[in-house]
Structure 1
Amino acid sequence: MSKRALLEVIALDVEDAVAAQAGGADRLELVTDIAADGLTPSVATVTGIRAAVDIPVRVMVRLADGFAAGDAHRLVGVAEEMRGAGAEEFVLGFLDPDGAVDLDAVERVVAVLGGCRWTFHRAIDRAADRDALRKALDGLAGLDTYLTAGSAAGVDEGLPTLLAEAARGGEPGYEQRVLVGGGLRLDHVPYLLSAGLDAFHIGGAARPEGWTGPVSQAAVGEWRRVLDGV
């Protein structure tokens, strides 16, 4: 029997988290300030959500809109604060002004995560050279996932890249799981599953009322059924 596809849902608060788990989410990405594409949430939010659900929670480490690290010392402090609050999984990713990975900032944050598992997020979709980024990050402790649409423009544009990268699984820099997200729609899922991609990330798709409304258990449940081939 094949393992079931992973469904990760963005949660902003406890209400979102509870609805996402009830709908069949396997994991949460926890952020605040979605207008800035998701920043590090408060300690209170992290502890509240971890108490309310029993699925894994990945906490964003990001202080400002865009993909620059900004003040690396502050980033490290935030990562330490989240670890202190009990966070065990993380999401991060920083680029330099030339679109290369900011390896110094990434390594400084990873150094305080104590081997925790983490996702390199959609900064990869803005990278000047995706392959070089993956190879630069190869071997970093805890890196187990890339969140990507294959393109900055979203999954529609990025499908060829997603399929090409999935086909390289096992090569250096390509051992990590590909978590597809960014303009992802339900009608993409059967095609992606047939190509061997088995992890999916949704935000707005879980919110029928838009980002001002909560995560809908029913919307998450619909994704769960499609992923399970029901």
Structure 2
Amino acid sequence: MTTILEVAVQHARDVPGCLEGGADRLALDVDGRSPDVATASAVLRASDRPVRVRLRLADTYTTTGADLTTMVQLAGEYLALGAEGVSFGFLDADLEVDVETTLALAESLPGVPWTFHRAIDATLDPRRSWRRLVGLPGLTAVHSGGSPQGLEHGYDELVALAAADPRIARLLQPTGGLLAEQVPWFLRAGVRQFGVGTEVRPGGSLRAYVDAAMVRSWRTLLDDLDQTEAHDRRVEP
């Protein structure tokens, strides 16, 4: 299975670096929230790769019925423009995954692949949160750094979770400060999706556009590790 490299973008000017560098999928949001339709349209016109667009209206992981209706409408517009899927995720007041609301939105978009974003890192019990997510319809990826502070603090826990449960490994997309030296260990645990953002922007700044050479370095790393793993499987006795 080819390893997926997803690159976070904020506007159409980020797209050329993703395409030239060999990204497999783009994740679009603007400051963590849903982009306006014009921004989404510009990105989708510029990209020939799958794009998942964020559904999040406010700087909170809780939502209301009215917000949910708005997000369903927004999703319809994004999909009509050519989005491959969407990303979203909701927590309740107890910082647990809000399965009811998350499921309601997923079921309103039948057949649409979606990502549960890093809301999972804000939950009180990540292991319980993963149990609630595994098996939800349409879910194909979960962004996680293993900690609200990202992979610098959550890496060990995430590798252990993936190694212990192939369902988690299949869904996990490490993101939030990914380091090249962490990738082989995630691969050995069965992870096949990776997300980068500021890692492919000069100076790690969101003011800088996605850089093709930096994306290419990640694509090359993943391809080389894929080839090494395939070789190792062939020579096993």
TM-score range, shorter chain: 0.7 to 0.9
Residue equivalent to 1:48: 42
Shifted more, 155-164 versus 185-194: the winner is 185-194
Superposition pairs of residues 186-201 of structure 1, within 5 angstroms: 186-201=180-195
1:141 CA displacement: 1.7
Q: Aligned to 1:23, which of 21, 24, 27?
A: 21
CA contact (8 A) 2:166 2:190 kept: no
Distance in structure 2 (CA, Å) of the matches to 1:224 and 1:86: 24
Q: Normalization by structure 1: what TM-score?
A: 0.87
Amino acid corresponding to residue 73 of structure 2 in structure 1: G
Q: Aligned to 2:224, which of 190, 215, 229?
A: 229
Q: Cα RMSD between the aligned structures?
A: 2.0
Change (3 A) 1:138 1:229: closer
Q: Give the paired residue count.
A: 222
Distance in structure 2 (CA, Å) of the matches to 1:160 and 1:114: 35
1:191 CA displacement: 3.2
Larger-gyration structure (1/2): 2
Residue equivalent to 2:178: 184
After superposition, the C-alpha distances for 1:160-212 in whole angstroms (9 at most, x for unaligned) are: 221222123345xx374210101212232233334332221111111114111
Q: Aligned pair 1:62/2:60, yes or no?
A: no
Amino acid corresponding to residue 229 of structure 1 in structure 2: D
Structure 1 stretches (4+) deviating beyond 3 angstroms?
Answer: 168-171
CA contact (8 A) 2:50 2:83 kept: no
Residue equivalent to 1:151: 147
Distance in structure 2 (CA, Å) of the matches to 1:80 and 1:124: 25
Distance in structure 2 (CA, Å) of the matches to 1:198 and 1:87: 22
Q: Aligned to 1:77, which of 70, 73, 76?
A: 73
Distance in structure 1 (CA, Å) of the matches to 2:147 and 2:23: 25
CA contact (8 A) 1:69 1:102 kept: no
Distance in structure 1 (CA, Å) of the matches to 2:176 and 2:106: 24
CA contact (8 A) 1:80 1:112 kept: no
Distance in structure 1 (CA, Å) of the matches to 2:120 and 2:101: 15
Shifted more, 181-190 versus 72-81: the winner is 72-81
Q: Aligned to 1:93, which of 89, 92, 96?
A: 89
Aligned-residue identity in percent: 37
Residue equivalent to 1:113: 109
Residue equivalent to 1:137: 133
Distance in structure 2 (CA, Å) of the matches to 1:52 and 1:79: 19
Unaligned 5+ segments in structure 2 are: 226-237
CA contact (8 A) 2:169 2:191 kept: no
Q: Normalization by structure 2: what TM-score?
A: 0.85
Distance in structure 2 (CA, Å) of the matches to 1:138 and 1:194: 20
SS in 1 for 2:69: helix
1:16 CA displacement: 0.8
Amino acid corresponding to residue 154 of structure 1 in structure 2: G
